[in-house]
Amino acid sequence: MSKHILLIFIIQFLAIHTKGQDLKFYRPIGDISQNSITSIVQDQKGFLWFGTKYGLNSYNGVSFQDFLHNSDDSLSLSNSSVESLLVDREGNIWIGTFGGGISYYNVEKKTFEALNPLLKNVMKNDIVQDIFEDLDGDIWLATEASGVKVWNKKTSTFQKFHFEENQKNSLPFNHVSSIEQDNQGMIWIATWGGGLCRFDKQRKILTILNEKNGSTLNNDIVKHIHKGKENRLWIGMHQGIQYLEQDQNNKITVSYTHLTLPTNREV
């Protein structure tokens, strides 16, 4: 849902700020497997990849190729409903699905590859809202109901962050919508109802910004995080947009922006 709202905001923002300009939209030739687009990435060869509610699609500039789940093929897409996509530093595609965990596509070999059995088992029924690769090459998987799961590709091990009452480094909420990393290496975790979290990987300390802790976030439903220029983090909220900055001592300042949608209707 957050990705749909972000796309609508971008389209409306363009409509306002390109008045009088010759802005044209083009429709690619060919058919995509389904018209509800959840995610878009571009691989290192320039191909575009579209996640949809029914299938994964690649576009080479001329035509589409779709990929669907096949119950008779263990190396097919794990679930045909795609929620999130990531191109990793090797140029391969991680696919987060709705209820089927993740799949991994090798772009050079043009095939899905078998997942590490541990990774496959831990993620098998998850709804994966976002996939992020940090500066160390670890893969962060944001899930709708199971918190965050971090896959270390070098050691083939997992680390989990989820809500656990009275436990250190417990997430405030298990519905995680977005993950980002700032220039200091801090990992930022957006939750749907628990506010925003900052994880210091070196010191292994989780800091929570939400209403309960006196945060100046305008609400605890955080839908998207994006790192902009000068290490400013842009936060897409349930109600509006805020940005966040840190000083050299990692003191956090949350500010409001003056960006508003042309309508205050719920989209």
Using one digit for the tens of pLDDT, what is the confidence trace for 164-195?
Answer: 988 878 999 999 999 999 988 999 999 999 99
Q: Which two tokens stand for residue 101?
A: 């965990």
DSSP class of 1: -
2 falls within a domain? no
Q: Which two tokens stand for residue 267?
A: 């989209």
25 falls within a domain? no
13 falls within a domain? no
Give whole-number Cα distances, 186 to 60, 135, 173, 220, in Å. Answer: 35, 10, 19, 20
CATH number of domain containing 238: 2.130.10.10
Q: What is the mean pLDDT of the chain?
A: 86
pLDDT at 6 over 50: no
pLDDT at 240: 83
pLDDT at 8: 44
Res. 258 pLDDT band, cuts 50 70 90: very low
Integer Cα distance of 118 and 120 in angstroms: 5
> Domain range for residue 157?
70-256
Q: Which residue has the higher pLDDT, 218 or 82?
A: 82
222 falls within a domain? yes
Q: Which residue has the higher pLDDT, 149 or 254?
A: 149
pLDDT at 216 over 90: no
pLDDT at 206: 94
202 falls within a domain? yes
Give whole-number Cα distances, 205 to 93, 117, 155, 180, 181, in Å. Answer: 30, 29, 22, 16, 15
Q: Classify residue 123 by burial, with Cβ atoms within 10 Å: 0-12, 13-18, 19+.
A: buried
Q: What is the mean pLDDT of residues 89-110?
A: 96
pLDDT at 103 over 90: yes
C-alpha torsion 67→68→73→79, nearest 10:
120
61 falls within a domain? no
Q: Indicate if the alpha-carbon torsion angle 17, 59, 143, 54 is positive or negative.
A: positive
226 falls within a domain? yes
228 falls within a domain? yes
Tell which residue, 243, 218, 220, 217, has the closest CA to residue 231: 243
Interacting residues of 117 by C-beta distance below 8 A, sequence separation 6+: none
pLDDT at 50: 97
Using one digit for the tens of pLDDT, what is the confidence trace for 69-88?
Answer: 999 999 999 999 999 999 99
pLDDT at 244: 85
Q: Indicate if the alpha-carbon torsion angle 174, 175, 178, 182 is positive or negative.
A: negative
How many CB atoms neighbour CB 207 within 10 A? 15
C-alpha torsion 209→215→219→224, nearest 10:
-40
What proportion of the chain, given as a percentage, has pLDDT over 90?
65
Number of domains the chain contains: 1
What is the pTM assigned to this prediction? 0.84
